[in-house]
Structure 1
Amino acid sequence: MTQRATAFVNARLVDPASGWDGPGALLVRDGKIADVVQGGDLGALAADIEVIDAGGAMLAPGLVDLRVKTGEPGAETKETLKSASLAAAAGGVTSIVLQPDTNPVVDEASVVDFILRRTRDIELVHVYPAGAATKGAQGERMAEIGLMREAGCVYVTDADRPIVNSKVLQRVLAYAKSFGVLVAHRPADPWLSTGAAATAGEFAGRMGLPSVPPIAEKIMLERDLALVELTGAPFLVDQVTTACALESLKRGKDKGLPVSATTSINHLSFNEVDIGDYRTFLKFDPPVRGEDDRQATIDALASGLIDIVVSAHCPAPAEDKRLPYDEAAPGAVGLQTLLPALLAFQDQIPLIDLMRTVTSRPAELLGLPAGKLAKGAPADLVLCDLNAPIVIDLDKLKSKSHNSPFDGRRLFGEVKMTLIDGRTVYQA
């Protein structure tokens, strides 16, 4: 069935790939961007074209979120592929990368194929599986990286579990490089971080919480960067959150190592004091940091040292969160709140630079066709009223789990419409 062509006029086009942030118009036809006019309009349009007056709202590439967890397969009560896709669409996220620590773990081609077939049937957002770097994500034996790549996985990672054995990680990096596969790894020294619920310091001490010193992130990152230098393999630092680790990251990048880095919107938005009276919805892995670390992370994002912002979407039902703080499950849902939470930093970082971290940069890193407003590109778009206030309400989130740290927070940036391949998959 042929889609009706759609024209967006009177829009604020924000396209980090081309560097344009200004007025413009865009035409969608047959699932692709048929024309883009920066600083002007489309001229006379045929009668059969649907015209949408954006009213000055931002029209941007749909967001690309590189770190999303679901419960499917194995824990569908937390989140299904469909509920995660619905949440993504409502948040203007058009491409998501699923973490492999499901049940079963995504460590072979058949599980990659299962996920891709399931999401094709759902027909909402684009879903890309990440494969496990080691069998069972246990950090002991290398997984079938080449076969998973052929099946469609976009990078390999053991998600929240650091690969402690340096020899194993060296083999993973060398083998992945031969297939052109990116390796993502969490920088956390397990001997210092296991069992921690907070960041070490005066606040955690007063709260009586088991804690991890920030240096644990730096220790593991230094090891990882040394192995990247040895192998030359492309590498993604999975959520850097401390000032001391950022120093190591800068030295690695200054050396010319093929390293990129993410941070989560949670670590940009909250610090350890926000835990308040043991608010378990703010328990993350890695834990929230001190204010100095948070500011250093924001500065690193502004300078480009940190490349990408992720939602770190991690659904957990109420029974896993409403427990004593050190027993509660870590993580938060974030697909629907990523964009408005990111927009809160416009007073510190230009809008086009913020949007680059969730559009063109992650798309370029993984070689995806998304993340740009260009003629012939997929019409994966988000229309967002930057000035519309919203109050985050747990009951209105599309995720099956409602563990959001932004509950009750007033933000700006209402998603009006999300398009995937020219199809409207969400409309406010």
Structure 2
Amino acid sequence: MITRLDLRGRRLTPRELVAVLPRAEVDVDAATHLVQPVLDAVRVHGAAALRDLAERFDGVRPEHLRVPADALAAALEDLDPLVRAALEEAIRRVRTVHSAQVPAPLSVDLGPGAQVRQRWVPVDRVGLYAPGGLAVYPSSVVMNVVAAQEAGVRSLAVASPPQRDEKGLPNATVLAACALLGVDEVYAVGGAQAVAMFAYGAAGSEPVDGDWLCEPVDVITGPGNVYVAAAKRLVRGRVGIDAEAGPTEIAVLADGGADPVHVAADLISQAEHDPLAAAVLVTDSVELAGAVESELEDRADATPHEERVRTALSGRQSAIVLVDDLEHGLQVVDAYGAEHLEIQTADAAAVADRVRNAGAVFVGPYSPVSLGDYMAGSNHVLPTGGCAHFASALGVHSFVKAVQVIEYDFAALQAVADRIGALADAEDLPAHGEAVRARF
């Protein structure tokens, strides 16, 4: 089912490794051509377009685009007590971690009367997207909302696709998560059209909590399919985005001491997300590779999403990669830059500290990716498709901006006036220098 890629005896450059390692093929550029008309329709026609697009893509025409307050309350009232307790604990843990991420202001004195300060200011308004395709994600509501709340964002809106079996409302557990978090601005809008609504705003005439009006936001975050990624690409610059999220992926770096049951179970846990999900094992143990292959076959037969899992594991985005040794394996996983990277080796913590490129690193046999998806306290909105080479997990930093404050007095400016003038003349911008000299 899953293929093998043998890199033993081959020391490739990072560029060459990226070329040969398995990765899902997602053409965001091609999707932008399909998404642009959707964005244009929402920008021009607002709520009317959102209803039409929901009927076209979600198979249901929502009675309410903004979810009524009583529907949010009812979803929370009807929530399974065990699920509620789990969500409450996840919220507590994620809030604890993210409250510690709030950056501190700084002040630097460069001399008497010369000071530069930096303060962190939350953006005013954010749009948070929770997918609802092959699966629904109340956990993504927790990850997005808590990070924004801990950043100090004052205005939050959540969008999630309308569901036919929910009478045009988003999934009830998603709504319950919003209610638990105190979010009352929730929209039954999915896909690229949700991104458009957040970027451009959308007006209508529904008498739900006042006149129906979704104001534009400053930042859009949350995972989604290739069309959501394409829409984010097209509105970037008008608004900030977290990332262009692609299919989920897991890489496991394991040695011969790893438990093949653990490894196989974790690979399947990500493969069940999507037929394009990537599952990669990097190991120097041929014996472990064989045991994991056998375990994958048995577990795929037993999983409720067998077809989806088998498609993902047999796709070109998944493989067992054989390497010479652990050092070689580290080079491979750093070149790959996985969304989720598990380290199941001897001295796993020390190995994890050497990893440079991964969205999140899970250390040892008792830190599976599923822990991070729900209850670790970390954020599960992570860079995919190799973007971990330059991008980070969603967090408080995603919703704040640094504002620098410069304050010099007369003497401090006078002390550097000649040097400012010299640089201004060197750049042929004499008025810059004159703006300083005019003060003396």
TM-score by length of 2: 0.27
More helix by share: 2
- For the pair shown, the structure with the greater C-alpha radius of gyration is 2
TM-score by length of 1: 0.28
More strand by share: 1
